Amino acid sequence: MISYGKKEVEALALIEPVNTNITEIDTEYYLNKARELRSKYFAEKVSALFQVTVGKYLRNREIEEAKGALYRMSDRELRDIGITRAEIDRAVEGTPELEPVKKNGFWTSFITKFLEAQTARAAYVHLMAMNSRELADIGLTRSEIEAAIKGDRKYRANDNLAQPSNTNDQRKAG
């Protein structure tokens, strides 16, 4: 038995609650408990690693067997199931049809979004500068401008597509 101060007793209490009024602690008990917990932790980690490794191995083996079976088929049999010889890997592995050759970096994406926002802003300013007649000629009302810029034309504020009242259709050049 070793005598400990209050701070050490509180630290040991994290492992197992103890009466902090007692300053003498059976250190062998706690050392053995710590060793047991450490062994259990490492056993769980090694077991998990083993399971992941074996799982990946079995999955790869299944994929290779499926590919082998498809590669042994004739072109006519492959056509019957709807794939070509060039599509076997993609069909078995489930990879996307077209993978992007190069992903855009942060700055490329930032500049692209900035330019799109500037274009949308310019279109908004241009449409807002039009009068109601000009907007009607292109099939918009003032309340639909924002939706048109965003591409949400299916949510129209006004489904009245009638001609404006002052079209001067009754006047004839004369």
Taking only the tens of pLDDT, the chain with its 174 residues reads 566 666 776 666 666 655 556 666 677 887 888 888 889 999 999 999 999 999 999 999 999 999 999 999 988 888 888 888 888 888 888 776 555 555 677 888 888 889 999 999 998 899 999 998 888 888 888 888 888 888 775 655 555 555 555 555 555 554
Separation of CA 43 from chain center: 34
φ, ψ for residue 144, nearest 5 deg: -100, 0
Same-domain pairing of 52 and 82 = yes
Same-domain pairing of 139 and 76 = no
Residue type at 162 in one-letter notation = A
Same-domain pairing of 64 and 141 = no
Predicted TM-score (pTM) of the model is 0.36
Enumerate residues 6+ apart whose C-beta is below 8 A from 1. 24, 25, 26, 27
Look at residue 163 and tell me if it is in a domain: no
Domain enclosing residue 7, as ranges: 2-93
Look at residue 45 and tell me if it is in a domain: yes
Q: How many domains does the chain have?
A: 2
Q: Which residues pair with residue 25 across a beta bridge?
A: 2
DSSP state of 101: S
SS3 145: helix
